[in-house]
Amino acid sequence: MASTNPFDNILKTLEKPGGGHFGKYYSLPALNDPRIDRLPYSIRILLESAIRNCDEFQVKRNDVEKIVDWENTSPKLVEIPFKPARVLLQDFTGVPAVVDLACMRDAMNKLGGDSNKINPLVPVDLVIDHSVQVDVARSENAVQANMELEFKRNKERFGFLKWGSNAFNNMLVVPPGSGIVHQVNLEYLGRVVFNRDGMLYPDSVVGTDSHTTMIDGLGVAGWGVGGIEAEAAMLGQPMSMVLPGVVGFKLSGKLRDGVTATDLVLTVTQMLRKHGVVGKFVEFYGEGMSELSLADRATIANMSPEYGATMGFFPVDHVTLQYLKLTGRSDETVSMIESYLRANKMFVDYNEPQAERVYSSHLELNLEDVEPCVSGPKRPHDRVPLKEMKADWHACLDNKVGFKGFAVPKESQNKVAGFTFHGEPAQLRHGDVVIAAITSCTNTSNPSVMLGAALVAKKACELGLQVKPWIKTSLAPGSGVVTKYLQKSGLQKYLNQLGFHIVGYGCTTCIGNSGDIDEAVASAITENDMVAAAVLSGNRNFEGRVHPLTRANYLASPPLVVAYALAGTVDIDFETEPIGLGNEGKKIFFKDIWPTTEEIADIVQSSVLPDMFRATYDAITQGNPMWNQLSVPSGTLYAWDPTSTYIHEPPYFKDMSMSPPGPHGVKDAYCLLNFGDSITTDHISPAGSIHKDSPAARCLMERGVDRRDFNSYGSRRGNDEVMARGTFANIRIVNKLLNGEVGPKTIHIPSGEKLSVFDAALKYKREGHETIVLAGSEYGSGSSRDWAAKGPLLLGVKAVIAKSFERIHRSNLVGMGVIPLCFKAGEDADTLGLTGHERYTINLPSRVDEIRPGQDVTVFTDNGKSFTCTLRFDTEVELAYFSHGGILQYVIRNLINAKQ
C-alpha cells in the first residue's frame, strides 16, 4: 500500500475572501488536463474522490485516468472504485445495518480478531424515520397519539439503535419524530462541501434507501445502495461501480400557471423511463434551471429510482446557495462552499459563458409543455394527463388485468355498493377514493406544493366543500419546518377542516403504512369486489403497496390530493364536471379552488423563513422525552435476546472460517418461483402489514405475539426469522407456476403441493434441494432493499435468471452470494420453452481467477434443454465478494488479515 498519495503535488490551499484560509484541497485545474473541462459535473465528483483517495492499493492512478478519460472509457463499461464521503442510514434499513455490524463484531471475536475494528470509518448519519402507521388520522392530537403508539410498538427497535449510537464511533443518530430521512438530509445533514481536519472535498453519500437521490437536487452526489454495500462503505471498502454514462437533460422555459413541480417530475419520469437510463447518471442543465427552486429540483432528483437512473443530478449554482442560507447554514459555511466549488470547477454560474460539456446522450424539455397530470393506477411512470383521466380510468376498467387494467365486466362497472357509516347510509362505486394522503419526502420537502395544497383547502372551505367522512385523509410532513410555515401562513386550519391533520413526521402511506380503513368501508369493498382508489403525493404506487384494498393507486401533487379527496372519486373530468356542491347547493368546479402560481409564490415568500429551519434543527439531536427515557445496555458487544421478535442474530456468519469457501455453482436446483416482467422489490421484500394468515403471522403467534401487536414488516427488519417468512409474501404476486392465480404461493415441484413460498422453500431445504428463481425484465426494480436479497438467500435461492436486473438489486444479490444471470437478448423462459418444472444446473469453475465478469455460462436442465446466459458479476471485486460468500464475510477476513 502506498504511504503517500501520488497526487499530493496538486494539493492547494483555499484562501478566504477576507484573509486567512479555509483549508487544503486537491485541485482539478492543477492537473492541467483539458479533458476535465468537458466532463459532466457529476463525473468531476467521482474524479475528485479517486484523486483524494488514491493510494495505489484500493484506488490506483489508472482508476483516475479512466475517469479523466470518461468520454472514451464510459462506453466500455469500465470498473472504477468510489469512496463516498458519508453513509446515510434510514431507520428501517438502518436497523439491519446495525444488526449486521453487531454480528460482525461477534464473528470477529470468535475468529480471534479485534472486534472494535468493526466501526464506521466514514461519517454515518442514521435518521430514525419511524415510518408512522396512520392509526389516528382525523384528530388534532394525531401526531402525539401516533408517536405514542410508535414508541409502544417499536421501543425495542428504537432502543437497539440508541445502543448503536453509543457503541459505534462516527455515527450521528437523529431521533424519531424529527422528519423523513431525505428531507432531514436535504435541510440539515447535507454538507455540500466537507471540511474535515483541514481537508476540503465535495459531499457525496450512499444511503440505504433508493430515494437518497433526493440530495442530488442540492448538488450532492448521492444514490441508494443495498444495506450490505452501505455497511462495506462504512467499513472503508471502496464501492466498485461501472463508470456510468451521463444523460444531459436540458431544461428551457418556465412552468405555466397552475402547473406544479409534481406534474413536472411525473413528466420527466415518463420521458427518462422511455429514454432508458438504468445504470446512468442524469445531469440537468440549461436556462430553465433558473426557474426551478431547490425544492423543485429535489422533487425531480428524489424520483430517480422511478425513472431508473443512478442519479438525477443538479450542479451547485446560485439557487443552491440561496437554499443553503434559507435553511440556516451560516454565511461562512456558504462562502466556503462557493469558494471551493468555484476553485475546483464544480460551480455553475449562469451569468458566465458556459463551457461545452460532453454527455452520453441528450434530452430536452420546455417547461412550458408540462401539463397537470397524475400517474397510475399501478406504476409511477404510467403518466395520465389530468384532462384525460376520466377516459383513462374507464379504459382501465375495460382492459385485461395488468398495469393499466382491472377487467371489470361492462355490466358491473356502474355497480353501487351501499353500506352504513357511523349510522348514516353511504355508497361506494368503482374509482371512489378511500385514502387521500399528502405523504412522502418527494413532495413534502416542497413549500410551493404544500402551501398550494393548503390554499386549495382554504378556497374549498370558504366555498362550503367537504370531504366524505369515510375517506382516510392524512398529512405527513417531511420535517417540523413544514408545520411552522403552514401555521405561519394561517392555512393549517383549513387542511384540518378537511381532515388533513398532521399524523406524524415520517414515511406513511407511500411505504404502505396507511393503517386500517374503516371496517364498514373495507367490507363494502371486499363483499362487492369494488376497485377502490387511493390518491397520494408519494413516489410509489405498485400493487398491494399502499393498502391491500386499494387496487387503484394514483400519484398526484399535494393540491391534487386535496382536490380528489373533495371529489371523492378518480372517475371525474375536472374540466367539465363539478367537484361537489358548496354553499346553498352551488356547483363548485376545479378552477374555483385552484390557486394561481402567483398566489402560491406570495405565500411561500411570506411564510417560509430561515429561522424556522434553525429552530427546528438546533434541537434535532436533543430528541424527545420518549426517546430520552429509553434505557439501553452499555458495552460494545450486543447482548442478543433469543426470544426477541424485533432484534435477532441472523445466521450469515454461522460456521464461518478464515478460509473463503470459493465460487459455487448450482446443481439440480428446483425453480422456486417463475416470474414475468417488472417484479419489484415490493413483490420480493417484506413490506407493509403482516397478513393474519401468513407464515410470518404464524411465527409471531407461536412466540406469543397478539395479532394487534404484529406491527409491520418494516418495523421487524431486524429479525431475520420474520423477514425470511415475509419474502415473496406480497398478495399481488403473480407466479407462473400457479397458472394465473395471484398470491404468495408456489408449487413444490416434487410433490405437486401448493404451499406458501416460505413453506415450499423450507421443504426444499429439508430435502436437501437447491432452488433458483426465473424472472423477466427489470427484475428487482423499486426501492433498494437489502431484504430483497437477504430473504431469497435465507430461503435457499442460489441463483436468479432474469431478462434484466435493476442496478441496486443485482448488486445486493451479489453482496449476499446469490448468482445473477441474464438470458441472452431476445430470449426468456417462455421463448426457451421453460415451464419452471425443470431442474437446473449451473457449472462454475471452482477457482475465482478462472471466472471473468460478464462471461457466458451454460445452464443445463434435466429434460435435455440447455441455454446460454450472461454471468452478471460485473467487476473483479464482485467476484471476490462471491468467492468469500458475501461482502460482509470479505470485509471481516480482510480486517483480520490486515496488519495490526
**404-443, pLDDT tens digit by residue?**
999 999 999 999 999 999 999 999 999 999 999 998 777 8
Give the residue, 512 or 277, on which the prediction is more confident.
277
pLDDT for the residue numbered 92:
75
For the cut 60, the answer to whether the pLDDT of residue 899 exceeds it is no
Q: Which of 619, 663, 671, 658 is nearest to 802 (CA)?
A: 671
Indicate the pairing of strand 361-366 with strand 383-385. unpaired
Confidence label for 1 from pLDDT (cuts 50, 70 and 90): very low
289 contacts 317 by C-beta, under 8 angstroms: yes
Query: How far is it, in rounded angstroms, from Cα 81 to Cα 77?
Result: 13
pLDDT for the residue numbered 130:
59
Residues 6+ apart with CB under 8 A from 169: 119, 120
Q: What is the mean pLDDT of the chain?
A: 92
State the amino acid at position 316 in one-letter form. V
pLDDT for the residue numbered 900:
45
Grid cell of 76 as nine digits: 466500455
pLDDT for the residue numbered 355:
83
pLDDT for the residue numbered 5:
94
pLDDT for the residue numbered 898:
77
For the cut 80, the answer to whether the pLDDT of residue 808 exceeds it is no
821 contacts 842 by C-beta, under 8 angstroms: yes
Model confidence pLDDT, tens digit, residues 356-415? 899 999 999 999 999 999 999 999 889 999 999 999 999 999 999 999 999 999 999 999
Model confidence pLDDT, tens digit, residues 86-136? 999 988 778 888 999 999 999 999 999 999 889 999 999 999 875 677 887
Query: How far is it, in rounded angstroms, from Cα 170 to Cα 123?
Result: 5
CB-neighbour burial class of residue 818 (10 A; exposed 0-12, middle 13-18, buried 19+) = buried
pLDDT for the residue numbered 2:
46
Q: Which of 236, 223, 231 is nearest to 97 (CA)?
A: 231
Among 108-122, 466-480, 782-796, 820-834, the range scoring the smallest mean pLDDT is: 782-796
For the cut 80, the answer to whether the pLDDT of residue 26 exceeds it is yes
pTM score, whole prediction: 0.83
Torsion angle defined by CA atoms of residues 296, 297, 298 and 302, in that order, rounded to the nearest 10 degrees:
110
Strands (E), 49-170: 79-82, 86-90, 124-127
Length of the chain: 900
pLDDT for the residue numbered 420:
96
Give the residue, 627 or 688, on which the prediction is more confident.
627
Q: How far, in Å, are 80, 189, 715, 722 from residue 689 at the CA level?
A: 40, 31, 10, 12
pLDDT for the residue numbered 148:
84
Helix (H) or strand (E) holding 385: strand 383-385
649-667 mean pLDDT? 93
Diameter over CA atoms, the chain = 82
For the cut 60, the answer to whether the pLDDT of residue 46 exceeds it is yes
Q: How far, in Å, are 168, 620, 731, 858 from residue 160 at the CA level?
A: 12, 19, 31, 46
Q: Which of 333, 278, 341 is nearest to 306 (CA)?
A: 278
869-885 mean pLDDT? 91
Residue % of the chain over a pLDDT of 90 = 73
